[in-house]
Amino acid sequence: MLSLEATGAIQYVRDSELQGFGIKVTGKGKATYIVEARKRGGRNIRHQIGSVDLVSLEDARIKARDALLRLAQGEDINHTRRVEKSPHDSLAKTTERYIVNKGSRLTQSTITTYKSAIEKNFKDWLHMPVSAISEDLVLQRRTQMLSSGLSENYVNKAFRTLKAVLNISRLPFNPVSEAYKDFGLSLQSSSKDTFLEGSDIVQLMENYAFENLFRTKGDDIFAYLMFLLLTGCRRSEALYLTWGDVTEEAISFRNTKNKRVHTIANVGMISDVLDQMWLTNAHTPLVFKMTSDQCRRKMAKVSDKFRFKAHDLRRTFAEHANLAGFDDHAIGQALNHQSSNITKSYRQRQLGKIIQLKSLYIAYQRQLAYYWQVNGGKIERAPEEYDGIKSKQGYVSNDILAHFPKYLSLQEPDLLNAIENQPFDDLI
């Protein structure tokens, strides 16, 4: 063992055999075994194993290997330790029981959202008994959250999560329900109606086209945003999409909110975006090669250009597909909304779904191209005579040709073959 002496400053002694394992020595000379590594898909975590006076080096290395494995698997081992040390009836333990009881009914992204809502907004309540959470505490925390600038929708969502967790705690009454009821407050969030206008869509398509000219890596944000715009899928569905779920004809989303595989047509501009991703990401399992945290950071970097959230693109799909002439049933099918229709429960295979969606995507993409190439972002339904590839002056778009060749082949099947035999200028 190395001689560890007090120097008045914190020291770190790194192990030469096991990367991430070491000893932290305080300024007063107190030495503790630690392990430090980046949690899979998240931040760097430093975890204390125990005092060098109480734990042997051999035992500390065994514990360090176990901790490193758990970090590599994505577990926040410091959070796990805090939960394990909490009283049985603490909010932390109750939250864990809630998630376990829900089991397979929750997706991993939903579990992460629930844990984040509790840990972020009620951190100082985690290790106290749930019986100590009173109506007054709920109202005080609600006021604090609103005063700090958080939106009422966000605050209500946090308290809806807390209410659900406390419902399994066997309390005589739920303090969240009682507090909201006594003061005539509603836990429901107001419906959001944010979606991209035509000018925003044009700006996104232009940024995607520019990005294609200089793409050197596979995690660029605009291709990801274009994919959300074109498919209406949820952000997590796109982030966890693998090449194994993509064929020439179809795309299958498996990480869905309702846990039912959602298969859509791989057509036109959608195919073009995936082809661009294949050029840089063919060697990786994930199509867009980004973790959720990486995606969030990249979205923040372009927030000066785009003041919208990823989910707003889902509403954008619904709004503009409706303008293109499709009803709520067709749009709901594209968005994988769960239907309560009894007849649908008999149609588990949904024969013809991909064929129906293909016609929707083609018309919707034609609508987007109309904003981009003809109408300067002004919102109106594309006229029947618009063929989906020409500018207001009647020219075939260079941008369509360069960045969306598969979409072009849908609108003008013979044009690409003709281009191979004639100069492009002769064709326009």
- Contact in structure between 359 and 415 (CB atoms under 8 Å): no
Instruction: Check whether 219 has a pLDDT greater than 80.
Output: no
Task: Using DSSP, state whether 49 is helix, strand or coil.
Answer: strand
Q: Which of 31, 58, 84 is the last residue of a domain?
A: 84
Q: Across 21-35, 65-79, 388-402, 409-423, which has the greatest mean pLDDT? A: 21-35
Inside any domain, residue 187: no
Whether residues 263 and 356 fall in one domain: yes
Whether residues 105 and 127 fall in one domain: yes
Instruction: Check whether 422 has a pLDDT greater than 80.
Output: no
Whether residues 42 and 75 fall in one domain: yes
Inside any domain, residue 5: no
Q: What are the tens digits of pLDDT across the range 122-131? A: 998 988 888 8
Average pLDDT, the chain: 84
Which of 78-82, 142-146, 156-160, 315-319 has the weakest average pLDDT?
78-82
Inside any domain, residue 253: yes
Whether residues 65 and 119 fall in one domain: no
Q: What integer is the mean pLDDT of 62-83?
A: 76
Residue 317: count of CB within 10 angstroms of its CB: 24
Q: What are the tens digits of pLDDT across the range 27-69? A: 888 899 999 888 766 678 888 888 888 889 889 999 999 888 8
Q: What are the tens digits of pLDDT across the range 356-387? A: 899 999 999 999 999 998 888 899 999 988 88
pTM: 0.62
Kindly report the CATH number assigned to the domain that includes residue 52: 3.30.160.390
Instruction: Check whether 171 has a pLDDT greater than 60.
Output: yes
Kindly report the CATH number assigned to the domain that includes residue 269: 1.10.443.10
For residue 84, the model assigns a pLDDT of 55
Q: Any idea what DSSP says for residue 46?
A: E
Instruction: Check whether 293 has a pLDDT greater than 90.
Output: no
Q: DSSP readout, 338-398?
A: PP--HHHHH-SS-TTHHHHHHHHHHHHHHHHHHHHHTSTT---PPPTT--SSB-TTSPBPH
Enumerate the H helices of 248-352 as residue ranges. Answer: 269-281, 292-301, 312-323, 328-334, 342-346
For residue 224, the model assigns a pLDDT of 95
Structural domains of the chain, count: 3
The rounded distance, in Å, linking the Cα atoms of 406 and 384 is 21
State which residues form the domain around 382: 198-427
Instruction: Check whether 426 has a pLDDT greater than 50.
Output: no
Q: What are the tens digits of pLDDT across the range 105-116? A: 777 778 888 888
Instruction: Check whether 1 has a pLDDT greater than 50.
Output: no
Kindly report the CATH number assigned to the domain that includes residue 154: 1.10.150.130
| Chain centroid offset of residue 423 CA | 44
Instruction: Check whether 245 has a pLDDT greater than 80.
Output: yes
Instruction: Extract the tokens encoding 69.
Output: 């494995």
Whether residues 20 and 77 fall in one domain: yes
pLDDT band per the 50, 70, 90 thresholds, residue 220: confident
For residue 79, the model assigns a pLDDT of 63
Inside any domain, residue 30: yes
Q: What integer is the mean pLDDT of 127-148?
A: 91
Inside any domain, residue 2: no
Instruction: Check whether 427 has a pLDDT greater than 60.
Output: no
Q: Which of 34, 56, 84 is the last residue of a domain?
A: 84
Q: Which residue has the higher pLDDT, 138 or 348?
A: 138
Whether residues 111 and 73 fall in one domain: no
Whether residues 232 and 378 fall in one domain: yes
Which of 262-276, 366-380, 409-423 has the weakest average pLDDT?
409-423
Residue 331: count of CB within 10 angstroms of its CB: 20
Q: Which of 127, 155, 182 is the last residue of a domain?
A: 182
For residue 313, the model assigns a pLDDT of 93
Whether residues 61 and 101 fall in one domain: no
**φ/ψ bin of 98: left (φ > 0), alpha (ψ from -120 to 50), beta (otherwise):** alpha
Whether residues 237 and 341 fall in one domain: yes
Inside any domain, residue 191: no
Whether residues 121 and 237 fall in one domain: no
Whether residues 177 and 267 fall in one domain: no
Beta bridge partners of 250: 265
Whether residues 408 and 419 fall in one domain: yes
Instruction: Check whether 428 has a pLDDT greater than 60.
Output: no
